[in-house]
Amino acid sequence: MPPVVDWGRRDYAASLDEMRELVRARRAGRIPDTLLLVEHPPVVTVGVEGDDGGATASGLPVFSVERGGRATYHGPGQQVGYPIVDLDPRDRDVRRFVRDVESIVVGAVEPFGIRAGHVTGRPGVWVDGERKIASVGFAVDHWITFHGFALNVDPDLSAFDRFHPCGFAGSVMTSIAREVGRPVSIADVRPAILAAWAERFEGTAPGRRAASEATAAAAPG
């Protein structure tokens, strides 16, 4: 299995700084593809499409970042995953990478009897095409990916009502716990995340070829 690093619950600013440092390390070949897993204290992040939903007025700390998409919430009870992956040996196919990451989320909720998937024109991972259970948004720097997915396991969903997550009403957001009608812990979900990560990213080569592309946002929402 490609390495997984569990940061536990960690401040968003510190996580962002280290994630960017790991991108540089991956580009230099000092580390292999790696999945970072973390919970953050309550925070709103705003991607390159900007904020049209009142993130600043939410009363939560707000960070503008280089990922695709608009505003979203991170908080306790939400499993955030940051795949630091070299797309060179994956044919520099950003679209395929995004679908592979979405499949990690789909695989994580399936053991709970939840059928989720992608909806054309509606970024993220959805249940029955109507309820959003995970946000997905990336940046790509010299073909190294960073930022990632935020799976709602059992967070305070009312936090999404303070703004318009990814341009939607907060009421579209759901969680594993809401869908199954009982408390669910991140520890309950973790094995399925790790299995899906291994299945999709096992064997990715560590090589690099020359690249000079600037940082680009990918896969909003």
**Catalytic residue set:** 166
Whole-angstrom distance between the N-terminal and C-terminal Cα of the chain? 27
CA distance linking residue 94 with residue 183, whole number of Å: 35
Encode 76-114 in three state secondary structure. CCEEEEEEECECHHHCCCHHHHHHHHHHHHHHHHHHHCC
Give the chain's length: 221
Name beta bridge partners: 152: 78
CA distance linking residue 184 with residue 89, whole number of Å: 36
Work out the burial of residue 180: count CB atoms within 10 Å of its CB; fewer than 13 is exposed, 13-18 middle, 19 or more buried.
middle
Report the amino acid identity of residue 180: V
Compute the C-alpha angle 27/29/32, nearest 5°: 100
SS3 at position 80: strand
CA distance linking residue 104 with residue 183, whole number of Å: 21
SS3 at position 46: strand
Tokens 């716990």 label which residue?
177
Report the amino acid identity of residue 47: G
